[in-house]
């Protein structure tokens, strides 16, 4: 499979540079102090980085500490020299004030490592939500051969004979707790049962979604995303990933050759059929923009919304990662799209072959988990893109709209998919927790809960706080979901049909800033409009009140991130970083 065209490896400029033999000696000596020989470093073999995202601080990715051994074996057997190094850890559900701050920070760090050291190609070790986009963004900026190795999801969680999925169990248990059905000890038992082994979230949350996206983009070996972390196939694909990156370096197969507009459209389609996370929106836009591909805001509607839900996995469906993998995983879901003519089959991938070639034998044999395209779990299951006087852009994940929610809000005779609701406005999640059960707010089933000050500037970083549950009393009365709306995000494991990622956010002067509790909001999913029914003069008058207050910066990075990061609609990237594409074209000076 190795392409025979010789490529001058960038590592040669460090280790084999006749014009600067003094520097070469300096570069060589310290690598040798752990036993590497000059013969290895000067052999002309590719130096392959293993970007190690696993650590005790990132338990979802910790399996990579073990997998790296198999990656090294693969690299060595294919004639490369492995060099493993750490990337900034990201742990979605423990990092305060939000792991969203870390995506761009890890990106920046990895760009410097890939650009500044003698690395010819890199294995990106992904898992937890933002570890995938951050590393792909960095490899794209530097543009050296790169391949994604997912660490894989945890084994399926079980509790009292029922499947319990990561995250999803938390949202469901919170409702059960509020309804008085369980106590705190039972809450903890359910939560911990969802995490039985090494690996990332076992539901189709953001982690499984983003690893599926990497595979759909053509950045990982076929079938890589869904193999559960403890399965023997995980070690085997780690080995093959190590082998393949060496061949990719010889073939000069860089991200720029793989990450085309069509590849991103494939990723968007794959997210829909998988019932994937709403966080795919900012992350896919971010990766695309770093790859020089502009995705218009309606791309989610035009290329995703009208596709069906095929993968029966929590939170949109029933099952978890093990069953999904055994049903054929991401290739089987993509196979359905390919047969239906909804996939660009000619996109090049890290295998050196096209998507269509990779999927030749990917048909699923478990139709309970991966439905045929013509017999989906749900039609029109992608993200709706909304706009109006509250924001220019927001998305709604339609695959998680429950029958109860659909009946109550979207099925009124004569006004299908249209409803009006009284706004209850919160500024940040502390405000929500303090006031949600306050009887004075008089919250009933005709209300919409609005979360502001939770975006890139407001939080800062943008937090997963929009999926607010109704007051306890309403849940006890059988109302499990109220409509929600906000300028933050929500967990990919959430089953709430929220309107999310509203941009511009309130802290940036978006329309949400001028909304007041008691205002009526009108949502029309047919025309994809969302407006506050407030006269323009009144909105102008309210601007005199100023923007809602937001917390001060606590760290230097929070300040820098607030100064340099764009809105969620645009992928929340460090805007200035887009000027630094393909840095590997110029080697850094000695
Ligand atoms: Fe890390 Fe879900 S919290 S993968
Ligand atoms: Mg998340």
Among 462, 468, 469, 467, which Cα is nearest to 487's? 462
Instruction: Name the residue of 58, 60, 197 whose CB sits within 8 Å of the most ligand 1 atoms, as the mutation to test its pocket.
Output: 60
Instruction: Name the residue of 64, 152, 166, 277 whose CB sits within 8 Å of the most ligand 1 atoms, as the mutation to test its pocket.
Output: 166
Atom of ligand 1 nearest to the CA of 59: 1
92 Cα–ligand 1 center, Å:
5
Among 233, 229, 231, which Cα is nearest to 211's? 229
Summarize pLDDT for 525-576 with one digit per residue, the tens. 999 999 999 999 999 999 999 999 999 999 999 999 999 999 999 999 999 9
Among 85, 76, 200, which Cα is nearest to 150's? 200
- 104 vs 497, more confident: 104
Among 510, 279, 278, which Cα is nearest to 396's? 278
Check if 152 has its Cβ closer than 6 Å to any atom of ligand 1: no
Summarize pLDDT for 110-168 with one digit per residue, the tens. 999 999 999 999 999 999 999 999 999 999 999 999 999 999 999 999 999 999 999 99
Mean pLDDT of the chain: 96
127 Cα–ligand 1 center, Å:
8
Q: 378: how many CB neighbours lie within 10 A of its CB?
A: 16
| Residue 7, pLDDT score | 76
| Residue 5, pLDDT score | 53
3-class DSSP state of 397: strand
Does the N-terminal peptide bond of residue 97 adopt cis geometry, omega within 30 degrees of 0? yes
User: What's the mean pLDDT in 485-502?
Assistant: 93
Summarize pLDDT for 436-458 with one digit per residue, the tens. 999 999 999 999 999 999 999 99
Question: What is d(CA 442, CA 308) in angstroms, rounded to the nearest whole number?
Answer: 38
Q: Closest residue (by CA) to atom 1 of ligand 1?
A: 128
Single pTM value for the model = 0.97
Proportion of the chain above pLDDT 90, given as a percent:
93
User: What's the mean pLDDT in 379-395?
Assistant: 97
Q: Note residues around ion ligand 2 (Cβ under 5 angstroms).
A: 92, 129, 206, 491
| Residue 153, pLDDT score | 98
pLDDT at 433 over 90: yes
| Residue 495, pLDDT score | 84
pLDDT at 2 over 80: no
Summarize pLDDT for 267-326 with one digit per residue, the tens. 999 999 999 999 999 999 999 999 999 999 999 999 999 999 999 999 999 999 999 999
| Residue 6, pLDDT score | 65
User: What's the mean pLDDT in 61-89?
Assistant: 98
546 Cα–ligand 1 center, Å:
37
| Residue 3, pLDDT score | 46
512 Cα–ligand 1 center, Å:
30
């Amino acid at each position: 499979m190795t392409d025979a065209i010789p490529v001058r490896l960038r590592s040669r400029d460090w280790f084999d540079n006749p014009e600067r033999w003094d520097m070469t000696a300096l570069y060589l000596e310290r690598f040798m102090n752990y036993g590497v020989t000059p013969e290895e470093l000067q052999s002309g073999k590719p130096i392959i980085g293993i970007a190690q995202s696993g650590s005790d601080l990132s338990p979802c990715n910790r399996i990579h500490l073990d997998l790296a051994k198999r990656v090294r074996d693969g690299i060595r057997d294919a004639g490369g020299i492995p060099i493993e190094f750490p990337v900034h850890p990201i742990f979605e559900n423990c990092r305060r004030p939000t792991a969203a701050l870390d995506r761009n920070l890890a990106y920046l760090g990895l760009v410097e490592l890939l650009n500044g050291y003698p690395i010819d190609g890199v294995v990106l070790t992904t898992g937890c939500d933002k570890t995938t986009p951050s590393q792909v963004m960095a490899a794209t900026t530097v543009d050296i051969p790169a391949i994604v190795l997912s660490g894989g999801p945890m084994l399926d969680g079980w509790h009292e004979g029922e499947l319990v999925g990561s995250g999803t169990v938390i949202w469901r248990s919170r409702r059960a707790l509020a309804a008085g059905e369980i106590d705190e000890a039972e809450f903890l038992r359910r939560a911990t049962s969802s995490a039985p082994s090494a690996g990332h979230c076992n539901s189709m949350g953001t982690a499984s979604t983003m690893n599926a996206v990497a595979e759909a983009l053509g950045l990982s070996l076929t079938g890589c995303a869904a193999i559960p972390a403890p399965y023997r196939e995980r070690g085997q694909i780690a080995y093959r990933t190590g082998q393949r990156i060496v061949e990719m370096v010889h073939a000069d197969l860089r991200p720029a050759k793989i990450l085309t507009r069509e590849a991103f459209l494939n990723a968007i389609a794959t997210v829909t059929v998988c019932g994937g996370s709403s966080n795919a929106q900012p992350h896919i836009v971010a990766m695309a923009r770093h790859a020089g591909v502009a995705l218009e805001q309606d791309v989610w509607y035009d290329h995703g919304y009208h596709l069906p839900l095929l993968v029966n996995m929590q939170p949109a469906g029933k099952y978890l990662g093990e069953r999904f993998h055994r049903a054929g995983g991401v290739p089987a879901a993509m196979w359905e799209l390919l047969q239906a003519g909804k996939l660009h089959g000619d996109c090049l991938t890290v295998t050196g072959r096209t998507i269509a070639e990779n999927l030749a034998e990917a048909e699923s044999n478990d139709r309970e988990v991966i439905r045929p395209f013509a017999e989906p779990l749900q039609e029109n299951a992608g993200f709706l893109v909304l706009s109006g006087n509250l924001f220019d852009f927001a998305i709604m994940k339609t695959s998680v709209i429950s029958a109860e929610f659909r009946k109550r809000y979207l099925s009124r005779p004569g006004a299908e998919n249209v409803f009006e609701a009284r706004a209850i406005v919160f500024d940040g999640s502390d405000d929500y927790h303090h006031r949600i059960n306050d009887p004075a707010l008089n919250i009933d089933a005709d209300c919409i809960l609005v979360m502001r000050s939770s975006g890139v500037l407001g939080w800062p970083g943008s937090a997963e706080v929009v999926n607010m549950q109704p007051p306890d009393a309403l849940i006890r009365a059988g109302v499990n979901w109220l409509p929600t709306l906000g300028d933050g995000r929500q967990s990919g494991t959430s089953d709430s049909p929220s309107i999310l990622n509203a941009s511009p956010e309130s802290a940036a002067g978006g329309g949400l800033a001028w909304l007041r509790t008691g205002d009526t909001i009108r949502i029309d999913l047919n025309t994809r409009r969302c407006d506050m029914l407030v006269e323009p003069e009144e909105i102008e008058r309210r601007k005199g009140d100023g923007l809602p207050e937001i917390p001060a910066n606590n760290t230097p990075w929070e300040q820098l991130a607030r100064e340099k990061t764009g809105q969620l609609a645009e992928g929340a990237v460090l805007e200035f970083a887009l000027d630094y594409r393909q840095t590997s074209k110029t080697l850094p000076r000695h």
